[in-house]
Each structure stands twice: as structure tokens, then as C-alpha cells.
Amino acid sequence: MRYDCYMQSSSLQVNMDLHSGSRGVGVHATNFAFPYALFLLLAVPLTTRALAADTTRVEAARLRFAVPVTWTRVPAAENEVARYRLPAAEGDMGESFLVLRTQSAEEVVPPDAQLELWYARFTQPDGRPTRAAASVLKRKVDDLRVTRTDVSGTYVASTAAPGQQPGVSGYRLLGAVVEGDGGPWLFVVIGAKATVGGARADFDALLLSLERH
């Protein structure tokens, strides 16, 4: 597995190669202290091993990926490939789900356009555009191109998922567009901010575990 991470707002580039049982991590940075670079070299493989012990590998829509054992697979809706219920954070009453969808040729839009569709589901308390409040990260995982966004605000979508009502403040979305042969694929989590925030590390780990089959 090859993992390339590019963060345009930072001077850090991390490359990770996993093949034939060997591992290599390359870190390139300019405004970057050596002790922190050393920490990354040590922490990346350790984190990978720790996550692997708490996940199960699944297949769906010609993809393989790892999901936490605490996420429960539930029946998917007609327009979904897979759906997982996330464990709720303390105090969160509604349910939050990870949903995997595919797109037909007629539905496909560029990743940035898909992000705008997700942003349209939210408004911000200070009135600024939701895209300005979003965190976007682009990665390459093996031969797949991943664009991930993370955004919070007031959920105002006209079509809410079961248990989710329009116009609810304190919501959060994690979304990823995955491009590659056989795709694209859309991974989306929408729900209460505490629950979705608690799932972000697992969501990112899932994206890093992606491979086609």
C-alpha cells in the first residue's frame, strides 16, 4: 500500500509505503522541527498497528476497507451500498451513520462540486459561507484519489436522514469523494457534533485503509 498525503496549508508531505511486509516512511518539510519529524516516523506505524487491532475488514462496491468493531452494520437504503451505525457520544440522543454510496455516470460531478453540495446542507452562525468553515484534505491511497471534508454548523438540508431533522444546530459532516477505476464512491457521516467528532479519527483511518478489489 502506498499513501501520499498533501496538505496545501502546510509544508508537510508524508509518504508511506507498505509492501511485501516492509515499511518505509518519508517526511519532507521546511518549517518543521526535527524532533517532531522523528515523532511522526515513530508514531505512524505504531498508530497503524493499534487501529488494526480494533477494526474489521469488509468489502463493498469493489472496495475493501477497515471499519471499527464498534460500528454496527445495518440495512442500507435503496440508494446506498452500505450503512453503519456509529456509537453515540454521551448526551447525543439521535443516531449517526456512515453511509457509502456509488454514482451513475449521469450523477458524477467533480469532487469540489460534490463538496459544495454537502456544504449547501449547512449554514454558519456567523453568516459566512460554509466552504470557508470547512477543512479539506486531499490524499492518494494506492491508486485511489481521496478528497475529504470536515464541516460543522446548522443542518438545514431539505431531506434529512432518519432521526435527523432540518434546521438542527450543532451538527457535523465528514464526507469523502473517492476516485478511481470502478468509482467514484462517496463516504458520508452526518450527525450530532460530539458523535461525529469522536468518529473523525476512525473515518480517516478507514480512508487510509481503502483498496480496490
Stated length of the chain:
213
Domains of the chain: 1-53 (no CATH), 55-212 (3.40.1000.10)
Q: Which pLDDT tens digit goes with each residue over 11-59?
A: 333 333 333 333 333 333 334 344 444 444 444 443 443 444 499 999 9
Least confident stretch, 1-5, 8-12, 79-83, 135-139 = 8-12
For residue 173, what are the β-bridge partners? 151, 190
pLDDT given for residue 107 in this prediction: 87
pTM for this entry:
0.74
Position 60 confidence tier, pLDDT thresholds 50, 70, 90:
very high
> Any residues with CB less than 8 A from the CB of 211 and at least 6 apart, and which?
1, 63, 64, 65, 141, 142, 144
Contacts by 74-82, CB closer than 8 A, 24 or more apart: 81/185, 82/58
